[in-house]
Amino acid sequence: MRSMSQLGNDLYTGKTSFPFVGRRRLWFLIAALLVIGSVLVPLVRPIQFSIEFTGGSQFTVSSLSNPDQALATEAVQSVVPDAHTKVTTVGDSAVRVQTDQMSPDDTQAVTAALADIYGVDESEVTSSFIGPSWGADVTRQSLWGLAIFLALTFLILALYFRTWKMSAAAIIGVVDVLIITIGIYALCGFEISPAAVIGFLTILAYSLYDTTVVFDKIRENTQEDGEVSGRTFGESVNLAVNQTLIRSINTTVVAILPVGAILFIGAFALGAQTLSDISLSIFVGIIVAAYSTLFVAAPLYSLFRENEPGLAERDARILAARERAIAPA
Amino acid sequence: MATSTPVRHAWRALTALLVITAVLFGINALGVYVFKGSSWTPELALDLQGGTQIILEAQTADGTAPTSEQLDQAVTIIRQRVDASGVGEADVTTEGGKNIVVQIPGQADEETRQRIEAAAQLQLRAVLYAGAPATTFVGEDGEETPYPTPDPTLNSTPTASPTNGSDPAWITDALYAEYLAYDCTDPANDPASAPEDEPLITCDADNTVKYILGPVELDGTSITDASAGLEQTSGQWVVNIKFDDAGTKTFGKISERLYGAEAPLNQFAFVLDGSVLSAPSMNAIILGGNPSISGSFTQETAQALGDQLKYGALPLSFEVVSSDTISATLGSQQLQIGLIAGLIGLVLVAIYSLISYRALGFVIIASLAVMGILTYVMLCILGWRLGFRLSLAGVAGLIVTIGFTADSFIVYFERIRDELRDGKSITGAVEDGWGRAKRTIYISKSINILAAVVLYILADATVKGFAFTLGLTTALDILIFILFTHPVMQLLARTRFFGSGHPLSGLDPTALGAVYRGRAQFRAPSAAAPKTAAERRNAKSRGEAERRQTIAERKQAALAATDAPKPGSKTQEGED
């Protein structure tokens, strides 16, 4: 097996080359299937929203030696007899109870009842109450943030790369990442919480960042090709993607390691829901972002540009020259 | 010893970084020891230190969205209420144009909650009695004695039924005893929730005057406007008030009653949340509904009172949209979990960097360490100056950015390796790789900063913490990239170990397959470090024009390699 640096060398010179652009029909087909799948998942398995979006009350009792779930239901019903309660055990010493929205008085009473029934101090009972408009506000503002961010990014990239087509490819790639990540999230039945929303927004930033690094190399290769190049436009793009492949792999690994650490610890640790929600979406998103840059954004860019008259003409000339070179041999 | 330009540049950059670090530590030291406002640990948000967060939505009586002035006024009102309840270190802020976020350390008791949620109520009451806020008297023995707690047997029903709001008959023996013992500063006294049809004992906002006030005669809804203005004849600042029709009539009657009465019965108090804003005396009979309050106002104080009367008058009510209580145990546990996760993440990144980049991995680790130090001191300073508090989402942001930060070094190192593959010297590769990598880093990091800024401006509190740390670390990342990583690479390229491309250095040209031959005509093959200063300068001075040519050549070489890989050729230079 080749070492990483040997692979890097071969990718750099073009000795080894993965057909990111060459087989783009296949990649686009896969991407389309993934996107369609992600859109269809919620129809089969509705997306779960956390109580921040649906409204409700939540209590967490920590420092328990015996987290018996039945006790929690009992405690809640002693205060509000007909309340819907959902009890989950968190870690091995805490219980989380989610109920319908409760009045402040009831919240107080349930807190006391829970502390009493589990025999802990009231300060070990964490309570939160969230009105249903709260999560909707968060979402609306996030969507605004998203739209403005994408618009500004489109502009900046178009100015920097001097072509809107690169912006378009990058943005489509990012939207692709977002849809697939949410699809995977829904498929696994994870709840969408405000923390997860933060995660999705981070992925956007990361994904665009990742794409920009690769696109900068593409810009360099294609701009400097000039008339004397022996490569078609698509081949230049492909070489650039291959030349940055080692970087893409290393970046993805390095970015995923700390996130994986949070995810691992957050999943086993009590009450660190914010951490696991954020890290889970980022974990999935980073992998999808790396995939999308290589298999969607870059091939898309070559597709957008190839048919420009100047480039198409040059490509034809190069291919013809190549034919001639091969023919006599 | 002659020092070449890149080396001088490197030392200068490192010195600059040292100075910046020292200045930041100096600023925080000033904050800690001189201004006593900062500390050596970052401020923690509620979810990490435990406490209560209540988010209120301000609602106007007619259902329209509150204006930003109303919201600011609401924040002031609520801040006064929280302070009055004796809770220290409460944090009251607005959010998203209609919400008010109240953060209180520890658990909020029911009374505090109710006090916070109560609607803002401006009441107008006649003054029955006013005096110094003393709760003690000097007795016959010449010693200061506290007034006794009112005896419950004292008469508490007026002897004669009061005929109007200023009737001294309101003051019963019990009320007077209570008044004497009333302590303005005791949070247990909550005049805000007192009944409207009974007299009230309260103080002004600065606790300089203690009052007994009559029952409520008018409330804030009858004030249509209040503003500060200059009185024409005297040139003094006054507060002009406008009443609505019903208010005009009532106020007219009150003014007839109060005008010419004996002090303090000629005073009329504006009471917001149970605290007296102002208690001017009636200097005329005002039937037109446009009284003005004069006194020793400055423009600011007149405007402040005008705002309080105007917006306090609007019956803003508050609805709780979310309320969170985090126990202190849970908070510290979450912080601990976050820190452990961060540490594990760092170790993993360090190990991977060392495997992937050999000794260069240490440059990544050192850069991350510098990053850690700068981020830490920045968090302390920002906590002090801007009230920034590190939340769990913020901690997650910091951990996530470890990987994002390491990426800028990866981009740079891969560029250096690319240049080495082109057959450049190590010093040359470090410079040329820098020239290319920095462009990539600038554009891609600007996208990241843009994301952070947009998120920060538009998002709610939870997202803000995250966006802030993301933006801060990205900015620091660029700073460290320029002032630490690059200079360190410039210096390392001149050491024997790295400069000669030792197999463990991560910069071994042989392993990197420095393929190519065509360049020898431009300069001496230089897999080894240039030996003279002139050569180094030469390596450095290859400019943009020549670089262009290099690329064209590289393309050819790449093509040649694709067509027919020539075994052995790639080690040719390395062994020279």
Beta bridge partners of A192: A49
Identify all chain B residues contacting A255, using CB atoms and an 8 Å cutoff.
Answer: 400, 403-404, 406-407
**What are the distances in angstroms from CA A138 to CA A69, B66, B398, B458?**
31, 19, 22, 10
Q: Where are the alpha helices (DSSP H) in B118-264?
A: 173-181, 245-258
Beta bridge partners of A97: A59, A87
Angle between helices A24-44 and A298-306 (to 10 degrees): 120
Beta carbons of B189 and B273 less than 8 angstroms apart? no
Contact B330 A60 (CB under 8 A): yes
Q: Which of residues 108-137 of B touch A (CB under 8 A)?
A: 110, 113
Q: Which amino acid is at A207?
A: S
Kindly give the confidence (pLDDT) of every residue in chain B, 576 residues in length, as a single tens digit, with 9 standing for 90 and above: 455 688 888 999 999 999 999 999 999 999 888 888 888 888 888 778 888 888 888 777 666 777 777 787 778 777 777 776 666 667 787 776 678 888 887 777 777 777 777 766 788 888 888 888 777 777 777 777 777 777 777 777 777 777 777 777 788 888 888 888 888 877 677 776 677 788 888 888 778 888 888 888 887 778 888 888 888 777 788 888 888 888 888 888 888 888 878 778 888 888 887 788 888 888 888 888 788 887 777 888 888 788 777 766 656 677 777 777 777 777 787 888 888 888 999 999 999 999 888 888 899 999 999 999 999 999 999 888 877 888 887 888 888 888 888 888 899 998 998 888 888 888 888 999 999 899 989 998 998 898 888 878 876 666 777 788 888 999 999 999 999 999 999 998 888 888 777 777 777 776 676 654 333 333 333 334 444 444 444 444 444 444 444 555 555 555 555 554 444 444 343 333
CA distance A42 to A48: 9
In degrees and rounded to multiples of 5, residue B146 shows phi and psi of -70, 145
Contact A275 B334 (CB under 8 A): yes
pLDDT band per the 50, 70, 90 thresholds, residue A133? low
Candidates A2, A5, A236, A280, partner chain B, best to mutate (most B CBs within 10 A): A5
> Exposure pattern of B38-68 as b/e (b: 16+ CB <10 Å)?
beeebbbbbbbbbbbbbbbbbbeeeeeebee
Contact A5 B511 (CB under 8 A): yes
Identify all chain B residues contacting A124, using CB atoms and an 8 Å cutoff.
Answer: 327, 329
- Tokens 């250096």 sit at which residue? B416
- Structure-block tokens of residue A119: 């025999």
Q: Which amino acid is at A50?
A: S
User: What is the pLDDT at residue A116?
Assistant: 86
Candidates B110, B330, B481, partner chain A, best to mutate (most A CBs within 10 A): B330
pTM recorded for the entire structure: 0.69
Q: Is B178 or A226 the better-scoring residue by pLDDT?
A: B178
Task: Out of B324, B393, B459, name the one closest to residue A145 (CB).
Answer: B459
Contact B421 A266 (CB under 8 A): no
CA distance B448 to B464: 15
> Residues 6 or more apart from A328 whose CB is under 8 A from it?
none
> Residues 6 or more apart from B396 whose CB is under 8 A from it?
A198, A262, A274, A275, A278, A279, B338, B466
Beta carbons of B426 and B359 less than 8 angstroms apart? no
- Structure-block tokens of residue A46: 């509705």
Measured between alpha carbons, how far apart are the two ends of chain B, in Å?
Answer: 27
Closest CA–CA distance from residue A198 to any residue of chain B (Å) = 6
Beta bridge partners of B54: B102, B323
Identify all chain A residues contacting B440, using CB atoms and an 8 Å cutoff.
Answer: 212-213, 216-217
At B91, is the secondary structure helix, strand, or coil?
A: strand
Task: Out of A13, A145, A156, name the one closest to residue B562 (CB).
Answer: A13
Closest CA–CA distance from residue B534 to any residue of chain A (Å) = 30
Contact A12 B344 (CB under 8 A): no
Tell me if chain A has a CB within 8 Å of the CB of B549: no
Q: What angle do CA A212, A216, A222 make, to 5 degrees?
A: 135
Coarse DSSP helix, strand, coil percentages of chain B, rounded to the nearest 5 percent: 50, 15, 30
- Structure-block tokens of residue B226: 């209040």
- Structure-block tokens of residue B561: 């390699």
**What are the distances in angstroms from CA B416 to CA B435, B493, B534?**
10, 11, 22
Contact B561 A14 (CB under 8 A): yes
Angle between helices A273-292 and B328-357 (to 10 degrees): 30
Residue of B nearest to A283 (CA): B400
Closest CA–CA distance from residue B5 to any residue of chain A (Å) = 27
CA distance B335 to B344: 14
Q: Which of B556, B215, B549, B495 is nearest to B359 (CA)?
A: B495
Angle between helices B426-458 and A132-161 (to 10 degrees): 140
Q: Where are the alpha helices (DSSP H) in chain A?
A: 4-13, 24-44, 51-54, 69-79, 104-118, 132-161, 164-187, 194-223, 233-243, 245-268, 273-292, 298-306, 309-326
- Structure-block tokens of residue B32: 């800690």
What does DSSP assign to residue A295? I
Candidates A3, A9, A279, A282, partner chain B, best to mutate (most B CBs within 10 A): A9
Contact A250 B414 (CB under 8 A): yes
Q: Is the dihedral of CA B95, B97, B98, B100 positive or negative?
A: positive
**What are the distances in angstroms from CA B52 to CA A122, A126, B85?**
14, 9, 15
Candidates A219, A254, A263, A282, partner chain B, best to mutate (most B CBs within 10 A): A254
User: What is the pLDDT at residue A176?
Assistant: 93
Beta carbons of B557 and A12 less than 8 angstroms apart? no
Contact B462 A194 (CB under 8 A): yes
Candidates A126, A236, A273, A326, partner chain B, best to mutate (most B CBs within 10 A): A126
Q: Which of residues 394-433 of B touch A (CB under 8 A)?
A: 395-397, 399-400, 402-404, 406-407, 410-411, 414, 417-418, 421
Contact B463 A142 (CB under 8 A): yes
In degrees and rounded to multiples of 5, residue B104 shows phi and psi of -125, 130
- Structure-block tokens of residue B112: 């505090």
What does the DSSP assignment read for A134-203? HHHHHHHHHHHHHHHHHHHHHHHHHHHHS-HHHHHHHHHHHHHHHHHHHHHHHHTT-EE-HHHHHHHHHH
Per the document, the length of chain A is: 329
Q: What angle do CA B558, B563, B564 make, to 5 degrees?
A: 100
Residue of B nearest to A264 (CA): B341
Beta carbons of B514 and B573 less than 8 angstroms apart? yes
Tell me if chain A has a CB within 8 Å of the CB of B340: yes
Beta carbons of B432 and A130 less than 8 angstroms apart? no
CA distance A311 to A302: 11
Residue of A nearest to B570 (CA): A9
> Which tens digits make up the pLDDT trace of A80-93?
887 788 887 766 67
CA distance A148 to A163: 20
Contact A134 B322 (CB under 8 A): yes
Contact A266 B346 (CB under 8 A): no
CA distance A8 to A243: 7
Q: Which of residues 348-367 of B touch A (CB under 8 A)?
A: 348-349, 352-353, 356
> Residues 6 or more apart from A316 whose CB is under 8 A from it?
none
Closest CA–CA distance from residue A200 to any residue of chain B (Å) = 11
Identify all chain B residues contacting A62, using CB atoms and an 8 Å cutoff.
Answer: 327, 329-330, 333
Let me know if A3 is exposed, middle or buried by CB neighbors in 10 A (0-12, 13-18, 19+).
Answer: exposed
Beta carbons of B192 and B81 less than 8 angstroms apart? yes
Q: Where are the beta strands (DSSP E) in B495-569?
A: none
Tell me if chain A has a CB within 8 Å of the CB of B177: no
At B277, is the secondary structure helix, strand, or coil?
A: strand
**What are the distances in angstroms from CA B195 to CA A133, B78, B191, B220, B540?**
33, 20, 9, 16, 84
Q: Is the dihedral of CA B59, B61, B63, B69 positive or negative?
A: negative
Q: Is the dihedral of CA A5, A8, A14, A20 positive or negative?
A: positive
Contact A278 B333 (CB under 8 A): no
Candidates B52, B443, B478, B481, partner chain A, best to mutate (most A CBs within 10 A): B443
In degrees and rounded to multiples of 5, residue A9 shows phi and psi of -60, -50
CA atoms within 13 A on the CB side of B258: 30
CA distance A81 to A76: 7
